[in-house]
Structure 1
Amino acid sequence: MWKNKLIRNGLVLILFFFAFGQAAELNGIGGVHFGSTKEDVIEEIFKRGLHHQEQPRTNQIILPKYSLGDLPVEIVFRFNRNNKFFSYEIRTGKVERDRYSKVLEAVVYMTEQFEGVYGRDNKNFNPQFKELQEKRYVQYSLWNHNQYDVLTLIRTVDARYFIQGIVTNKHLAKEAY
């Protein structure tokens, strides 16, 4: 039984990296390394034939349409005051309450993808639906990695739900603001 699970998880991870094209990796995402300048990130996006949006006020670049395997997502690249890429966020689309089961599937899937890169999560909160009704977000998983802050969340906005996965380079974040 454990062999089947190992094979299944290995196949999911292989498909993830194939579909995401060097997706989440220890030092960044999609071939873009932490510490890259905004210009380097834009160049890498263009190399992949993708379209982005710049958010100068918040010093972010957004890829509004990307696929994490079968999961449509948006990626947000964040830059510190030295114009270095220090954090990224992966967001799913928002869904209504009656599709909440899809939210749970998505957060489990994203958590598994992060586990493939950063190892097992250190804390899985396994939040209940009631908790989410009382808050704007609940943490799903948290990693205690020595170089990166990594977490997955379930968020709610206007009675709609979505997933966030956030990875931050701790060293570069110190010069963030």
Structure 2
Amino acid sequence: MRTGRPVNGGGNRASIIAAARQEFAAHGYRGATLRLIAMRAGVDVALLSHYFGNKDGLFAETLELPEEARRGIAAALSTGPIETRGEQVTRCYLGLWEAPATREQMLTLARSGISNEAASTRLRNLLTGPTGDTAFDGMPAGARAGIALAMAELLGVAIARHLFHIQPIAELEFETLVARTTPSIQRHFGST
């Protein structure tokens, strides 16, 4: 491994973030170490401090979801006919757990959300943050509660499938999972 100044700044940074996402997703915040992350990324451990300051800084960086993911959740919660809102939200949220671009962040949020305040805040914002969007201004408290309950249910399904690998939930085809979960989620939107 090379030490000293970074040679491939953007590439090294991206490699470190990718390695950190894998480690945090597999082991949570407490179980992941900077040394293991550096080994996985193929860089000197000092480079992690150079880019991110410390483990907390690197962890915070790995929790960032693409902006289109946040916009997708907000759109699923606020657009289209109310009769299909449950399916839209179910497909969008559970899709974040399935998509290669966001799977590791979702696993990291869930594994670390109980013991790490940064992860807990990010997870809470993902689940309830969209209701703070201007599209939800004037929404009655009951409707906001329905959204929070729907998102909490979806989190439970995702954890059962991806963290605990509960059978047969873990083996269901994605479309079957969406079809079986949607009626329960739709109930929170006041229409079936």
Q: Do they superpose with TM above 0.5?
A: no
Higher percent of residues as strand: 1
| Structure having greater relative contact order (Cα 8 Å, sep ≥ 6) | 2
Q: Larger Cα Rg: Structure 1 or Structure 2?
A: 2
TM-score, normalisation: structure 2:
0.29
Could you state the TM-score of these two structures normalised by the residue count of structure 1? Answer: 0.30
